[in-house]
Amino acid sequence: MKCLNILKIMQLQLHLLIWCRAAETLTDHLTDLGQNVTINCDLDVKEVIWLLLKLLDPPVMILLSSTTSANFYFNKTFKQKYSVQSKHRLFINNVTLDDLGLYYCLTTDFPPKYSDCTRLHITELTEKSKNQHNGRLLSSYLLS
């Protein structure tokens, strides 16, 4: 748990770094609202933490996935939304607008290694909301 506190601080510092890296290693995952989605974690380790980065918000720690102990949810409300499959794959149940964003996993070592980012987005954005979305992503990038 001490290690998790360090990670909480680290995640803010990593924010910008991850954004830069995201630009290079970004995978796009197109979906529709109401679908289930599975996202891969390309880290071959015993334990990872899954995070979600949305627009202007700091990254949200979703869960700790471990092959040697029970998974730990950072907020118990995430249990209905997220589960973990083999190889730390993140399963997202019934995608809503709230779930869209950049997903990535981190190792719990120090310093943490992080995976490629997966951007979850939907096909149905209108031109207007698409522009707003991109505008917010851009300001999120600039403000980081």
85 near ligand NAG (CB under 6 A):
no
Residue from 5, 68, 77, 126 touching ligand NAG (CB under 6 A): that is 77
* Cβ partners under 8 Å of residue 63, min gap 6: 49, 50, 71, 72, 73, 74, 78, 82, 84
Smallest distance, ligand NAG to C-beta of residue 75, A: 4
Report the side by side order of strands in the sheet with 90-92.
Answer: 37-39, 90-92, 82-84
Tokens of 82: 């997220």
DSSP H helical segments within the chain, as ranges?
Answer: 2-25, 127-143
DSSP H helical segments within 26-101, as ranges?
Answer: none
The interface with ligand NAG within residues 10-69 (CB under 6 A) comprises 34-36
Smallest distance, ligand NAG to C-beta of residue 20, A: 27
Residue from 38, 85, 96, 134 touching ligand NAG (CB under 6 A): that is 96
User: Could you identify the residue written with the tokens 């998790």?
Assistant: 4
93 near ligand NAG (CB under 6 A):
yes
How far is Cα 85 from Cα 65, in angstroms, rounded to an integer?
Answer: 9
Query: With CB under 6 A as the contact rule, which of the stretches 3-11, 13-21, 46-54, 93-101 interacts with ligand NAG?
Result: 93-101
Smallest distance, ligand NAG to C-beta of residue 77, A: 4
Residues that bind ligand NAG (CB under 6 A): 34-36, 75, 77, 93-94, 96
